[in-house]
Every structure is written in C-alpha cells, then in structure tokens.
C-alpha cells in the first residue's frame, strides 16, 4: 500500500523511528458537537449511569470494591516529586497529576474501565432476554447460581496483547462465563499465566494483535454461544472508558483545580488500538469542551494512530505500510493498525500524537517508583513525555500559540494517565527497575531534542 505522508519534521521523525510530536490539522473548536460523528455526548452520561447501576453487582463479585461501594476508580496523585525528577519543576508547567489507573482495582489497568463494563452489560442483557431479571430487579441476582448456570453455557472471547484480556477474562470468570483470550505474540508470559490460573483459555498466536483479533472475531461469528468483545469496533468498550472523565472532573474539583479557557487541561493518554484513550478523550471533551487538550502517545515503532491520522487516509494505514517494525516492550501498545471507529471519532477532537522510545519508558518507570512510589509497567510511563513536548518542542510551542494559550500555561493542569502496572509480578518488576536504573545515567531523550527532562 503506497502511503503519502505530508512533508515536515513529524513525518521525518515518524519514518526514522524518532520521538516526535504531530499536531492534528483537523482539530476544530466545538468538535464534540459535530453531527457527522458516529457517537453523541449523551452516551457518556448513559455510561456513567450504567456504572452506578452496576455497582452493587460489581461489589458482590469483587469484595475488594466494598470500600468504594462497587465503584471502579483510581486516585489522582499530584506529582510533587516526580515533576522535578522529570524536569518539569518550573512554574510554566502549572500543576501536574498522575491518574493512577496503574492501581485500578480488579484488573490493575485502564482496561478495567472498558472490559469489565462490556462483560457486565452483556450479562445483564442476556439475563433479561432469558427472563432472569425483570425491570427494576436486583442486579446482584446475576451473581447467583441460576444466572451462573445460564452464563456457563456462553463464552466471552477477546483478542488482546494483555491487559484487555486480563480485564475481560477476570470479569467473565467472576460471573461464570467461559472465557477465551486470543493473545498476540507480544503478550507477556505472566499475563498468560494469570489468565490460565483463573480458568481462562488462552490461545497464543505467532502473529501480531490484529491477527489475534481477527481469529477471535471469526470464531465468534461461527458460534452463536460466543460473545466477542471487539476492541476495534465496540462502543460499549469506548463508553465504559469515557465515564472516567466524570471521575476525573470530580477529583479536579476536590483538588481545587478549575478547567476553563484560562485554565486549560492537558491529557496525555497511552495508545494501542485507541479504544481506551479515545474513550477517555471523548469523555473529557464532553465534560470540559475545548478547555481539554487531548494527546495520544505511542512507541516510536508502534505508532499506528500517528501513521494513520497523519496520512489523512480513509482506509486504515498500518505501521508496516510506513516501514515501522511494531516491536516494543510496551506490549499493550504493540498494535499495527488503530481502530477505524476511534480514528473517525478523534479526527476533529484530538490535539495531537507524540511518540517515545522504549528506553525512555524504562527510565521513567524507574523515576516514578523511586520518587513517588508509583508502580508502572513500561507502557504506563509513556504519558510522562507530554508536558515536555507541549512546553519545549517547536510543535508544542506552535500549538500553544495557535490555541492562544501562551499566557494561560502557568495556570494549566497536566494529567499523565498511568494505564497499568500494579499486577506485574515482583520478579518482572525488578527486571524493569534494573533496566531503568541502568539507563538513568544517560539523557532521558535523544541528545538533539530540546523537549525532555
């Protein structure tokens, strides 16, 4: 497939596998209200209401949620020590927070917000269709033996590089479904072991994520007893993630943080296929409007969203089409082709995309643990480059000027979304720390960059 990318520094960096920031030329004010988008802001409200309704059932299935009355939420941690270690200590960086989805209960990653939501919504729909749940009935009945007998005759399937599979498998087994997770060659052994330990069937593929998803979808299409959680197309996943923006808004208010034209909010969201960051970004736009500036971040060799959105192509562009390898230690981001659905939704809403190297991820992982005790897996540290790109790179400064934010940046809030890590086995994490520590003596970004700490 011949791909024509617009000329410029971001194109050159993308093709060379260098960290870069690309600004979305299709971003427009009021984009959330575009009639051409396939989704509507009211669906964020509906998802938030569904989460509240599901809370009693979630608490019944997962005792660890008793303290939050069934809510799956994470802390927002102000990065007091971390910001200095990253080189973001100056007043021009405003306030910096970490959204700690790395410690999200039940599934230990941002994927809990999507995978658990979709599985539990499907379970409710199935139970209603089979007459096990009347209107106004107690959803906790779905954790009982009659419902479990029904669910045991059905299979939940998903394709995953790791964390979505953990989320879907955990949710499915908690309700009594069979669960099958098709995992790509990038999946980590400890994630496979955790799934099989809870009774999930894991099908390993000697190919990438796209192939694993295609096989999971084909199996479901051939068997009506299989429900397929489609990370490429699912609106349920997308809006499960979107409700996180309402949670973030509450936490920002509690921290005394205003979000408006004079107090902009910058969100930095690690991206694989795009469902989780797309859902959060859409929710943020629904909640804060144009005061929210949303950026995706990807590994330099797995920059599928950057390759596609930069191209302006209708058909999806793969990283292989632009000569990238799709090889990265950030397994949750090892995706060759983004979701077409997410690309369509994000076209008028996304501020930009930046890329990072694997070495950067391990250094930042080490910094997070040693400065603030934040335990991450490599992909979860990707957001840490965001403030540097926005405040220090030529593209970032151009964005600030284009948006009329030069005088507002000291009053800005930056949220580094940390997407996973708490479930990483200690031996594995020790290896991450050893690699990150060994790299700490070198610069955190390439020597010709003016953006990094």
Average pLDDT over residues 117-146: 95
Q: Do domains 9-108+241-439 and 112-236 have the same CATH topology?
A: yes
Query: Phi-psi category of 305—alpha, beta or left, where left has phi over 0 and alpha has psi -120 to 50?
Result: alpha
Of the pLDDT bands very low, low, confident and very high (cuts 50, 70, 90), residue 450 is: very low
**CA gap 207, 212 in Å, rounded:** 7
Residue 135: Cβ within 10 Å count: 5
Structure tokens at 408: 């507002």
**CA gap 246, 284 in Å, rounded:** 8
Of the pLDDT bands very low, low, confident and very high (cuts 50, 70, 90), residue 217 is: confident
Which parts of 142-251 are beta strand (E)? 155-160, 178-183, 201-204, 226-229
pLDDT one-digit tens code per residue, 85-104:
999 999 999 999 999 999 99
253: exposed, middle or buried (C-beta count within 10 Å: 0-12, 13-18, 19+)? exposed
**CA gap 307, 311 in Å, rounded:** 6
Cα end-to-end span (Å), the chain: 38
Check residue 184 and give its pLDDT: 76
Check residue 229 and give its pLDDT: 94
Statement: residue 7 has pLDDT above 80: yes
CATH level 3 topology of 9-108+241-439: Rossmann fold (3.40.50)
Mean pLDDT (the chain, rounded): 93
Residue 140: Cβ within 10 Å count: 15
**CA gap 423, 412 in Å, rounded:** 32
Sign of the dihedral through C-alpha 401, 404, 406, 410 = negative
Check residue 447 and give its pLDDT: 35
The answer to whether residues 99 and 294 touch, using CB atoms and an 8 Å cutoff, is no
Check residue 70 and give its pLDDT: 97
For every residue of 134-150, DSSP letters joined together read -TT--GGGGGSHHHHHH
Statement: residue 390 has pLDDT above 60: yes
Structure tokens at 372: 């603030």
Statement: residue 445 has pLDDT above 50: no
Check residue 21 and give its pLDDT: 98
Residue whose C-alpha is closest to residue 172's, from 191, 182, 157: 157
Structure tokens at 213: 């998803």
Average pLDDT over residues 426-430: 95
Residue whose C-alpha is closest to residue 283's, from 19, 12, 32, 110: 32
Statement: residue 453 has pLDDT above 80: no
Write down the number of H helices and E strands in the chain: 17, 11
SS3 of 324, please?
coil
Ordered by start, the domain boundaries in the chain are: 9-108+241-439, 112-236
**CA gap 54, 111 in Å, rounded:** 17
Check residue 162 and give its pLDDT: 80
Query: pTM for the complete prediction?
Result: 0.94
pLDDT one-digit tens code per residue, 220-271:
888 889 999 998 899 999 999 999 999 999 999 999 999 999 999 999 999 9
Average pLDDT over residues 24-48: 95
Check residue 449 and give its pLDDT: 43
Of the pLDDT bands very low, low, confident and very high (cuts 50, 70, 90), residue 2 is: low
The answer to whether residues 365 and 376 touch, using CB atoms and an 8 Å cutoff, is yes
pLDDT one-digit tens code per residue, 317-373:
999 999 999 999 998 899 999 999 999 999 999 999 999 999 999 999 999 999 999
Structure tokens at 211: 């192939």
Average pLDDT over residues 136-165: 93
CATH architecture designation of domain 112-236: 3-Layer(aba) Sandwich (3.40)
């Amino acid at each position: 497939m011949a791909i024509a990318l617009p000329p410029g520094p971001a194109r050159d960096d993308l093709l060379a596998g260098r960290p870069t920031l690309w600004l979305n030329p299709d971003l427009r004010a009021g984009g959330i209200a575009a009639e051409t988008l396939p989704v509507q802001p009211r669906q964020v409200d509906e998802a938030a209401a569904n989460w509240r309704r599901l809370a009693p059932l979630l608490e019944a299935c997962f005792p660890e949620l008793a303290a939050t009355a069934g809510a799956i939420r994470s802390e927002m941690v102000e990065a007091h020590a971390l910001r200095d270690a990253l080189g973001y200590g100056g007043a021009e960086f405003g306030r910096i927070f970490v959204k700690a989805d790395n410690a999200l209960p039940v599934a230990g990653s941002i994927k809990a917000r999507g995978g658990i939501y979709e599985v539990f919504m499907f379970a409710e729909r199935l139970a209603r269709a089979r007459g096990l749940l009347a209107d106004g009935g107690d959803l906790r009945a779905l954790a009982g033996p009659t419902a479990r007998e029904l669910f045991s005759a059905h299979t939940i399937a998903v394709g995953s590089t790791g964390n979505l599979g953990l989320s879907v498998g955990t949710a499915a087994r908690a309700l009594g479904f069979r669960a099958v997770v098709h995992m790509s060659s990038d999946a980590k052994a400890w994630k496979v072991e955790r799934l099989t330990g809870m009774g999930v069937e894991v099908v390993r593929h000697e190919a990438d994520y796209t192939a694993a998803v295609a096989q999971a979808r084909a199996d479901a299409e051939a068997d009506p007893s299989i429900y397929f959680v489609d990370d490429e197309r699912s609106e349920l996943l997308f809006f499960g993630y979107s409700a996180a923006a309402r949670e973030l808004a509450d936490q920002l208010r509690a921290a005394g943080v205003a979000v408006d034209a004079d107090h902009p909010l910058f969100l930095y969201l690690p991206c694989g296929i795009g469902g989780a960051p797309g859902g959060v970004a859409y929710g943020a736009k629904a909640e804060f409007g144009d005061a929210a500036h949303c950026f995706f971040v990807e590994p330099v060799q797995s920059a599928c969203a950057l390759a596609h959105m930069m191209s302006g192509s209708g058909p999806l562009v793969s990283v292989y089409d632009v000569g990238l390898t799709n090889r990265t230690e950030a397994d949750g981001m090892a995706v060759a082709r983004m979701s077409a659905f997410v690309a369509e939704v994000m076209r008028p809403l996304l501020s930009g995309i930046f890329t990072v190297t694997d070495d950067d991820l391990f250094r930042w992982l080490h910094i997070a643990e040693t400065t603030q005790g934040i335990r991450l897996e490599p992909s979860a540290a990707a957001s840490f480059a965001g403030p540097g790109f926005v405040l220090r790179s030529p593209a970032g400064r151009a964005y600030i000027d284009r948006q009329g934010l030069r005088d507002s940046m000291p009053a800005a809030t930056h949220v580094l979304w940390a997407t996973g890590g708490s479930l990483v086995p200690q031996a594995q994490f020790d290896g991450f720390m050893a690699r990150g520590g060994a790299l700490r003596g070198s610069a955190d970004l390439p020597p010709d960059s003016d953006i990094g700490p």
